[in-house]
């Protein structure tokens, strides 16, 4: 059979276009990490400069576009000066953000909006969503995962005790998220503690899904992991 050069070229172009359409190179990212933080673990650090009272629930750190290859696109066009006063996020959503996405640190006239603006400029701009859709989806997805309840279902609670990885993994196995630790000093010892839990959210922001492989632990060492009170 004779195949014309034009046919070969057409197949090559179509193959290339369909490759582009299914990779993050064309779309910028494949999924989000919805990063939930444990305020105690943010604030029990040296020089953390946190405000006096911090929530006793997991709060949002950010919703970060990620690629399947491990990339994390940042600082895309579309920066804003201030999220709250931009007029581009409705009041209901801003109210939810004040409750679920607080700045834990001191300072500034509107610390929450300062933090959201940092997160939008660095991560949200690469989502290709409007500010309204990006923030609405983040607070809605965060509200759909009761992290403390998941952990409590396996008797893991913020009581300054250390827990086996396997127990944490079992509690979270519906989502297989990434558990990120940091260090805390207590009674002359250094412990690894739960700092953040990064859940996977579909590209369109509409569903929290399993991250697709066993729960990963980052910066958690190999021993038990403390859950700080």
Residue positions annotated with a catalytic role: 61, 119, 123
Which of 104, 131, 151, 197 forms a contact with ligand AMP (CB under 6 A)?
104
- Closest to ligand AMP by CB, 34 vs 119, is 119
Interaction with ligand AMP in 13-52: which residues (CB under 6 A)? Answer: 37, 42
**∠ CA 119-124-129 to the nearest 5 degrees?**
150
201 part of the interface to ligand AMP, by CB under 6 A:
no
Could you tell me where the DSSP H helices lie in the chain? 5-22, 24-27, 39-43, 91-100, 111-122, 131-143, 147-152, 165-171
Q: Which stretch binds ligand AMP (CB under 6 A): 20-28, 100-108, 155-163, 177-185?
A: 100-108
How far CA 94 is from CA of 91, 112, 147, 194, 200, in Å, comes to 5, 10, 22, 28, 23
117 part of the interface to ligand AMP, by CB under 6 A:
no
115 part of the interface to ligand AMP, by CB under 6 A:
yes
DSSP-based three-state secondary structure for 180? strand
Site size toward ligand AMP (CB under 6 A) is 10
Q: Tell me whether strands 178-186 and 216-218 are parallel, antiparallel or unpaired.
A: parallel
Residues that bind ligand AMP (CB under 6 A): 37, 42, 61-62, 103-105, 115, 119, 122
């Amino acid at each position: 059979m004779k195949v014309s050069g034009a046919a070969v070229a057409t197949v090559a172009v179509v193959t290339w276009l369909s490759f582009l359409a299914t990779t993050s190179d064309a779309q910028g990212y494949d999924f989000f990490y919805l990063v939930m933080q444990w305020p105690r673990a943010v604030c029990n650090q040296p020089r953390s400069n946190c405000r006096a009272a911090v929530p006793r629930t997991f709060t949002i750190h950010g919703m970060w576009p990620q690629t399947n290859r491990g990339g994390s696109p940042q600082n895309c066009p579309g920066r804003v000066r201030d999220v709250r006063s931009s007029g581009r996020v409705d009041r209901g959503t801003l109210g939810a953000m004040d409750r679920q996405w607080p700045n834990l640190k001191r300072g500034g006239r509107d610390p929450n909006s300062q933090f959201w603006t940092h997160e939008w400029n660095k991560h949200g701009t690469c989502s290709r969503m409007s500010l309204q859709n990006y923030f609405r989806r983040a607070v809605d997805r965060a509200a759909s995962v009761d992290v403390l309840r998941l952990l409590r279902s396996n008797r893991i609670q913020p009581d300054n005790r250390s827990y086996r990885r396997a127990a944490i993994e079992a509690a979270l196995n519906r989502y297989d998220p990434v558990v990120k630790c940091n260090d805390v000093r207590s009674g002359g010892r250094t412990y690894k503690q739960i700092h953040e839990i990064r859940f996977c959210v579909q590209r369109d922001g509409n569903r929290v899904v399993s991250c697709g492989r066993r729960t990963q632990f980052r910066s958690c060492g190999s021993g038990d992991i403390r859950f700080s009170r």
